[in-house]
Structure 1
Amino acid sequence: MSSLKPAWQKRDTGLTVRMIFSFAILTVLYLVFLSVLSYLGIGYIPIILIASAMILAQWYFSDKIVLWSAKAKIVSREEEKDLHEMIERIVARNNLPKPKIAIVNTAMPNAFATGRGQKSSVVAVTRGLIDILDEEELEGVIAHELTHIKNRDALVLTLASLFSTVAWYLMQFGFYGGLYGGGYGYSGRDRNGGGAMLIILLVAMLTWIVSFLIIRAISRYREFAADRGSAQMTGRPVKLANALLKISGNMKRIPNKDLREVEGLNAFFIVPALSGSTIGNLFSTHPPVEKRVQKLMEMEASMS
């Protein structure tokens, strides 16, 4: 009997190449950005240090902020025995540390993972999710979130966002400095004119826009990778596909008011909570559910 694994059980080379290519573009973009700042003589090092401190603080406290924003409550084994046992089975099979478990008391079906690393992670699920999914579908969703933790996706996206944050603050400082006439103390070659300021603003704006789009592409690739990881953990791609369809279908029944209240957490959710009017439909952090389901069903078909 052949010991070769089916293709979907192996690393997705194409997906890996796309992620590496995206990070390469991001790296080149940031190097150009810093080179332009250096050429113009702007004191960008203090700005980088300030932005780094802010983004690291955000990363350090992100789990608490996300749980507080989602109104999630950490639950003990005694409070949610079945959920704890399910997660214990998954992590035991895949040699992963057990995360903390949280419940969000809302009818909206969704789940997310947060935390700085595998040992400080939290997996949260909503009451609505537990109500609509069967046990194997729920396992697929939880395995998806555990894959995010295993791949350290929160850290990856935080680091990818670092210089995008720098560019954002440069735009803010440049705009308000120009607006009030004081500038922000750069020592460039064009001290007396507005030419250097205009170049800095344009380069910072271009850097932020392009990095914004690339980071969202990376985020979408990470979602495909987490779907694949879930299929590998459970061996049942079709169950996650069913879960995604149920979640997206039931999401349409949630009032727009409730969806807007949690849109700030869409980057964390397994399926974004998008109201019909949101600009997030154009710049989503997630691939379309239809494409995710298609890939999962292709994995399922390859098993037979």
Structure 2
Amino acid sequence: MTRTSAGTRFATDRGLVGRMLATMFLLGLLYVVFVGTLVVVLGRAWPIAVVLIGGVFVAQFWFSDKLAAFAMGAREVTPEEQPELHGAVDRLCALADMPKPRVAVADSDVPNAFATGRNRKNTVVCTTTGLLRRLEPAELEGVLAHELSHVAHRDVAVMTIASFLGVLAGLLTRVGVQFGLFGGMRRDQNAAVLVLVVTAVSVAVYALSFVLIRTLSRYRELCADRSAALLTGRPSVLASALTKISGTMARIPTRDLRRAEPFNAFFFAPAIASKDSLANLFATHPTLERRLEQLARISAELGGAA
């Protein structure tokens, strides 16, 4: 197995990578237009805006791993506490020729896993207790390989950077709305026009970035599935894990799923997956059917031995 551009032995899909790059280009173009509009509208005040924008970005990028892990209740575990989990991560990292990330467990009955961190030195791979109870060792390795593929291809950093534009646009929209609600528009007509323009642009940018980010997320999930399947050589095992996790979700109490739903973008499989075809356009993950179809094709490519 040859080393890829990610510096590991995780394989990439050129078609998916091409679509991801195109999506990133559109996001970058949208970002340039958005910042350019702010500079024009704000006039001499634009340096302040740049400083604030930079501060928000640095905070989001630098603390993304800690915030995500804290929000999900993840706790780092030692090899003595979770020998089988650490053993699986050790084997996969050796197979992929990549550094071992920190390993954590979240106390949740929702069977899932996620990886978070701005770079490989600050990465945490986490599984829930529900996942550890329900999957066979081979299935668990398939899921972990998927998450380690995200680490190898720097997906967490990519998605953090990509989502920044949406976060910024949402923040400016909220500020604009609150400014109007608290009477700023009545006190100064010029300020009112400024707020309306910035808010309108922010709403449009947020909507477009939302769609592009969800599209990018779905591509990256498919790429991680493919990389994991080729690394382990057992796409059917990963398909089994996907099917088992999705089926188990239907038996988890709705209140627990709703509590986990805000973290769908991080998870191996969404806590709540929409059945509506239109809603799937805004989903963070491809449909289960599409993921299973891809794994079936990979199995055929490998000669059905997987």
TM-score, normalised via structure 1 length:
0.87
Tell me whether 1:176 sits opposite 2:178 in the alignment. Answer: yes
Determine the structure 2 residue equivalent to 1:301: 300
For residues 258 and 193 of structure 1, the distance between their equivalents in structure 2, rounded to whole angstroms, comes to 44
Aligned residue for 2:184, secondary structure, equals coil
1:31–1:255 distance in 2 versus 1, CA, 3 Å = same
Determine the structure 2 residue equivalent to 1:204: 202
1:100–1:242 distance in 2 versus 1, CA, 3 Å = same
Determine the structure 2 residue equivalent to 1:123: 125
Determine the structure 2 residue equivalent to 1:141: 143
RMSD: 2.7
Give runs of aligned pairs for residues 37-116 of structure 1, distance below 5 A. 37-42=38-43, 43-116=45-118
1:135–1:302 distance in 2 versus 1, CA, 3 Å = same
TM superposition shift of 1:259: 0.8
TM-score, normalised via structure 2 length:
0.86
Determine the structure 1 residue equivalent to 2:6: none
TM superposition shift of 1:171: 1.7
User: How big is each residue's C-alpha offset from its partner over 1:78-133, in whole Å with a ceiling of 9 and x where there is no partner?
Assistant: 11112211111110111111111112233221111112211221111122212222
TM superposition shift of 1:26: 1.3
Aligned residue for 2:78, secondary structure, equals coil
Amino acid at match of 1:205: V
From 217, 233, 248, the equivalent of 1:219 is 217
From 262, 265, 268, the equivalent of 1:264 is 262
For residues 212 and 202 of structure 1, the distance between their equivalents in structure 2, rounded to whole angstroms, comes to 15
1:232–1:168 distance in 2 versus 1, CA, 3 Å = same
For residues 128 and 147 of structure 1, the distance between their equivalents in structure 2, rounded to whole angstroms, comes to 22
User: How big is each residue's C-alpha offset from its partner over 1:202-260, in whole Å with a ceiling of 9 and x where there is no partner?
Assistant: 21110111011101111111111111111122111111111111100001100001111
Contact 2:184 2:192 in 1 (8 A): no
Deviates more, 1:47-56 or 1:192-201: 192-201
Amino acid at match of 1:25: L
Contact 2:109 2:130 in 1 (8 A): yes
TM superposition shift of 1:303: 1.0
Deviates more, 1:154-163 or 1:286-295: 154-163
Deviates more, 1:226-235 or 1:242-251: 226-235
TM superposition shift of 1:178: 3.1
Unpaired segments ≥5 residues, structure 1: 4-8, 184-189
Amino acid at match of 1:222: R
Aligned residue for 1:85, secondary structure, equals helix
User: How big is each residue's C-alpha offset from its partner over 1:159-196, in whole Å with a ceiling of 9 and x where there is no partner?
Assistant: 1123323322222222223333436xxxxxx9737544
1:244–1:117 distance in 2 versus 1, CA, 3 Å = same
TM superposition shift of 1:282: 6.4
For residues 105 and 168 of structure 1, the distance between their equivalents in structure 2, rounded to whole angstroms, comes to 31
Determine the structure 2 residue equivalent to 1:26: 27
1:40–1:116 distance in 2 versus 1, CA, 3 Å = closer
Tell me whether 1:152 sits opposite 2:115 in the alignment. Answer: no
Identity of aligned residues (%): 41
